[in-house]
Structure 1
Amino acid sequence: MNALVSLTRDLVSIPSHDDEAAAGEYIRQWLETNTDARVTRDDHGNVIARKGRGEESLALVGHHDVVPPDDTQVDSDGEYVVEERDGRLYARGAADMKGCVAAAMLAFRDADPARELIFASFIGEEQGGVGCQAAIEDGFAPDYAVVGEGSTGYSTPGVTDVAVAHKGRRGSTIVAEGAAAHASEPEAGANAIYHATDAVDVVRDLDFPETTVLGHEMSGSVAVTEIDGGSAWNVIPERCEVTVDERTVPGERAPLDRVEAIDGVTWRVDQDLPPMACGDADFADAVLDAATAAQDGAPEHVVKPHATDAGWLAKAGTECVVVGAAEPGEAHTADESVSLAVLERCYEVYERVAESWAGR
C-alpha cells in the first residue's frame, strides 16, 4: 500500500492538463528503473511497456492527462494541491485516472504474466482519445485490455465492478439555411429558425438506440442541447444551428440524417467517440473472477454511461473491459478524490488478471 500511495501522490502532483510531457516522462523513467520491460515513449507522448511472451497479449491501459484543475486544486505557485485524509487522496486526477495508472504500473512490475503483458498510458484522453487513436494508427493492437477508468459503485456502493460495455458520444450540428428579409414582410424571406424547428421535431420523434451486450440491455439517448439563430429582432433569420448530443450504443445509431429531408437543412458530425462492447464472455468472466477474489463485496458485470479509450481499442479489434477505482460523479469535480483501499484492490485485480488470463 505504501508504494501505491507514494506513486499515486507523485503522479497527481505533476500538472498535466496543458502539457502531459512531464507526467509521461516520469512514467517512462519509473518503468525503466523498476522493471526490465521494453519501454518506449512515442512521438505523441504515449508511454508503452512490454514484458513476457505469448501469441496473444493483454494490456493494462490508462491515461495521464487530466482536465483543468479547479482554483482550489492549485496553490499560489501553480502546483497541484494533494491532500490525504480519511483514507482518500484528494487531487486533480486522483480518480480520473492517475490512481489507477499507478496501480497498473505496480501490477505490471509485479506480475508474472501468463502471456505478453503490456502497460500503456496515453495522452489526450480528455481531448477525445487522440493519444489512443495515434497509438492504434502506429500499430498498437493488444488482443485484450483492462482499461482503468472508473467502475466502482455501479452495482453496489463501494464495490468495484467490471464494465463490459460503455456508451459512446456522437455530437453533431443541424444547420438550417433560409433567406433574410425584413420582419415586417416575412413572406419575402425563408425563416431558417422554422426550418430548424422542423428538424428538431424530427429529432424529438426518433427512437433511442438500443442493444444488448453479454445479457445487459443498453439504451442510448438523443437530445437537442443548444440552438443559435437570428441576428436582430426585426430580421427574418437566414441561418440557425442546432446542437445534438447522442449517446451511442454498440452497433446502433439514431438516424439523424433524416433531418436532411427538410428543405434548407444539412447535418454534420462534429465528434464521434465510439462505444465499447466486450465480445468475449470468457475474458469478461475471468476479470470478474479476479475482481471477486480481490474484495469482500460481490462485483457484477455492468455498463458504463461514459466513453473511454476502451471505445477506440474495441473499434480496432481489442476485447476490452473497464475496471477502476473512480466512482460515479467523482471525476472532474472540485473535490476529486480516490479511495486508497480501492486503489489497492484495483492493483490486485490487475495483477491477478495478468497472471491468470491465458486466453483460449
Structure 2
Amino acid sequence: MSLVDLTRDLVSIPSHEDEAAAGDFLEAWLRRETDADVTRDSVGNVIARKGTGEETLAFVGHHDVVEPAASQVADGSGDDATEYAVEERDGRLYGRGTADMKGAVAAALLAFRDADPAGELVVASFVGEEIGGVGAQYAIDGGFSPDYAVVGEGSTNYSGQDVTDVAVAHKGRRGSTITAHGTAAHASEANAGENAIYRATAAVDRVRDLERPSVDAAGERLEGRLTVTEIEGGTAMNVVPARCTFTVDERTVPGERAALERVAALDGIEWTVDQDLPAMRCTDEAFAEAVLEAADGVQDGDPELVTKPHATDAGWLSAAGTECVIYGPSEPGEAHTDDESVSIGVLERCRETYRRVAQRWPTAG
C-alpha cells in the first residue's frame, strides 16, 4: 500500500466525535502489516512495539480531528456510512485530517513497518488530542514512557518555504477563569453593596501589569502571553452586581508561568484553572541533532531547529520525562481549515525521515 493510499483510507474515516472506527483501522493495519506487539487500551489509543533495546524511540500522533466543514463530508448511501471527502490535486491531498494529522500518522506507520530499529521502536496514535490530550494523559498514567519521541505535528515551512524543520520547543496554554465576588444592592444606594465589576476591573488591570515570562530555545526568544478574552457580570441596570467573571488565555513557556496568584490575592477574587496544556522543550541536544541530520538528508532545503507556538501531546510526554521533538508535514495555518490539505511530497519526506531516525537512534553508546 502506498503512502497516499494509506493516508486517503485513514483520512476518509470520520473521527471528530468517535475515534473508534479509525482506531479499528489502525489496529487491523498494524496486525496485518507487521509482527509488532499491538495493543488497544480502554480509551482507544493504539500502540505497537517492535525491536529490543534498553532505550525506546516512539513515533507519536493522534487520529482524532476537529469537526469537518460540510464540504469535507461525502454522504454515503444505503449501508455505506458517511465518510470524509478526500481529493488529490496539484500534488496535495485535501480533506479533514490530512494535515492534522492523519497524514503524519500514515507516514509513521509505514516507517515503523519498514525500519530495522536500533532499539525498541514504538508507534502510538492517541485519541482526544484535540480536546486537551486526554488520550496521551491516559497512556502516560498507564505507564507509557518512551525515552525519546518524534511527534508528527506540523513543522513544515517554519524556517523557509518547502523546508520541514525540527521543533525542539513549544508553548503551552493555561486557561483560567477569574471570578470577582461582591455584594448586591440597589443602584440608588450603591454604597450599601460591593461592586463585583469594580473588583473585576481591578483584577484585569493586575493581569495587564503582570510580567510575561520568556525563555531562550533554539536561538529564539520564546515569549509568554496573557490575554483577557471574555467578561460577564451584572443582572440588571439598576442593581450593584454581586458577581463578575472574566477569562484569561495564557500562553506559557517551558518551565515558567505568569504570577496569576497575584491576581487571586486581591480582595474578593477567586482564580480557577480550567485547562493547563504543558509547554515542551527538548533538553537532549544529541537527539535533536540526530533528527535534524536525518531531516537534512531527505530534502533540498536546509532544515533548522525551531520553536512552535502551539501546544501538542509532546507537552504531556515531555512533562512525564520523554525527550521530544516535533517533525511533521502540516504547515502554519493549514490545520482546522475548511480546505485543509497536505503536500504528498512532504509526507514522503516525513516517512523517510522517520525511518532513518528509527535505524540510527538510540545510538549504541
Deviation at 1:216, TM superposition (A): 3.3
1:149-195 per-residue CA deviation (whole Å, 9 max, x = no partner) reads 00001000211000000000000011000011111221111110000
Partner-residue secondary structure (3-state), 1:185:
helix
For 2:343, which of 324, 339, 342 is the aligned residue? Answer: 339
Q: Is contact 1:213–1:278 with CA below 8 Å preserved after alignment?
A: no
Q: Which residue of 1 aligns with 2:79?
A: none
State the alpha-carbon separation in 2 of the partners of residues 41 and 128 from structure 1. Answer: 20
Q: Which residue of 2 aligns with 1:154?
A: 158
User: What is the alpha-carbon root mean square deviation over aligned residues?
Assistant: 0.9
Deviation at 1:214, TM superposition (A): 4.5
Q: Which residue of 2 aligns with 1:100?
A: 104
Q: Is contact 2:64–2:128 with CA below 8 Å preserved after alignment?
A: yes
Q: Which residue of 1 aligns with 2:53?
A: 54
State the alpha-carbon separation in 2 of the partners of residues 298 and 84 from structure 1. Answer: 27
The code of the aligned residue for 1:40 comes to T
State the alpha-carbon separation in 2 of the partners of residues 59 and 178 from structure 1. Answer: 52
Question: When the two structures are superposed, what TM-score results if normalisation uses the length of structure 1?
Answer: 0.98
Q: Which residue of 1 aligns with 2:300?
A: 296
1:300-322 per-residue CA deviation (whole Å, 9 max, x = no partner) reads 00000000000000000000000
State the alpha-carbon separation in 2 of the partners of residues 187 and 309 from structure 1. Answer: 50
Give unpaired runs (5+ residues) of structure 2: 77-81
Partner-residue secondary structure (3-state), 1:50:
strand
Q: Is contact 1:151–1:327 with CA below 8 Å preserved after alignment?
A: yes
State the alpha-carbon separation in 1 of the partners of residues 68 and 116 from structure 2. Answer: 37
1:193 aligns with 2:197: yes
Larger deviation: 216-225 or 241-250?
Answer: 216-225
State the alpha-carbon separation in 1 of the partners of residues 192 and 199 from structure 2. Answer: 15
The code of the aligned residue for 2:181 comes to E
Deviation at 1:358, TM superposition (A): 2.3
What is the correspondence of 1:320-339 to structure 2 with a 5 Å cutoff? 320-339=324-343
Partner-residue secondary structure (3-state), 2:74:
coil
Q: Is contact 2:56–2:362 with CA below 8 Å preserved after alignment?
A: no
Q: Which residue of 2 aligns with 1:169?
A: 173
The code of the aligned residue for 1:285 comes to E
State the alpha-carbon separation in 2 of the partners of residues 76 and 66 from structure 1. Answer: 18
State the alpha-carbon separation in 2 of the partners of residues 27 and 65 from structure 1. Answer: 12
Partner-residue secondary structure (3-state), 1:286:
helix
1:181 aligns with 2:182: no
1:267-288 per-residue CA deviation (whole Å, 9 max, x = no partner) reads 1100000000000000000000
1:238-289 per-residue CA deviation (whole Å, 9 max, x = no partner) reads 1000100000011100000111221111111000000000000000000000
Question: When the two structures are superposed, what TM-score results if normalisation uses the length of structure 2?
Answer: 0.97
Partner-residue secondary structure (3-state), 2:352:
helix
1:179-216 per-residue CA deviation (whole Å, 9 max, x = no partner) reads 11111221111110000000000000111111123443
Identity over aligned residues, as a percent? 69
The code of the aligned residue for 2:47 comes to I
State the alpha-carbon separation in 1 of the partners of residues 141 and 290 from structure 2. Answer: 29
Q: Which residue of 1 aligns with 2:355?
A: 351
Q: Which residue of 2 aligns with 1:65?
A: 64
State the alpha-carbon separation in 2 of the partners of residues 128 and 218 from structure 1. Answer: 22
Deviation at 1:76, TM superposition (A): 3.6
Q: Is contact 2:91–2:345 with CA below 8 Å preserved after alignment?
A: yes
